[in-house]
Amino acid sequence: MTFLILAPCQTVLQDPVAGHSLISVFDEIKIAVPAAAEVPQDAVIPREWCVFSRWMLAPEEEGEIYSEVIEVFWPDNTVFNRTILPAAAPGRRGLIFVAKYTGFPMGQSGRIRIRVSIERRGQTVCGPVETDVTVQLVDAGPGQFGPITEQTGL
């Protein structure tokens, strides 16, 4: 098995004929909050986002049942979320996973780590592979009621 891509993005368009389109791939998010606001360490902003990954299978690996373990960590290394996604239809095109989230971790400035690995029959067979998103809490300025987000793409 070969790792191909791991990308946090705003959304993924899935087309069985044309393939997948990753919309707004990002590696940094700035979140503006009023200077006087106390932001809890575990605060989450309501925001839809996805983690897209793709893995290529060797011919002898086709037909097996796989799942992907996706772990998202706060900057202080505590777990924000852990998800296990079953592979829909492993085959010649390999494994494609799209994890969808409705909240983004904003309570801590720093690196949000995203780690994925592939399991077969409960055993890790590939990975882990990691990427990250930098979260920065910034002053919203006078008269602003946050949070307001700005993302920086790759």
In this prediction, residue 141 carries a pLDDT of 74
pLDDT average, residue stretch 22-47: 89
Q: Is the pTM of this model over 0.85?
A: yes
In this prediction, residue 146 carries a pLDDT of 56
CA angle (40, 110, 82) in 5-degree steps? 75
User: Domain containing 135 — which CATH number?
Assistant: 2.60.40.10
Q: How many domains, the chain? A: 1
d(CA 147, CA 109): 14
The rounded percent of the chain whose pLDDT value lies above 90 is 61
E strands in 35-147? 44-56, 67-73, 79-86, 95-105, 110-120, 123-139
d(CA 133, CA 31): 13
d(CA 154, CA 77): 24
Query: How does pLDDT run across 77-131, given as a tens digit for each residue?
Result: 999 999 999 987 666 678 999 999 999 999 999 999 999 999 999 999 999 999 9
Domain holding 94, by residue range, is: 2-153
In this prediction, residue 31 carries a pLDDT of 87
Phi, psi of 61 (to 5 degrees): -90, -15
In this prediction, residue 56 carries a pLDDT of 93
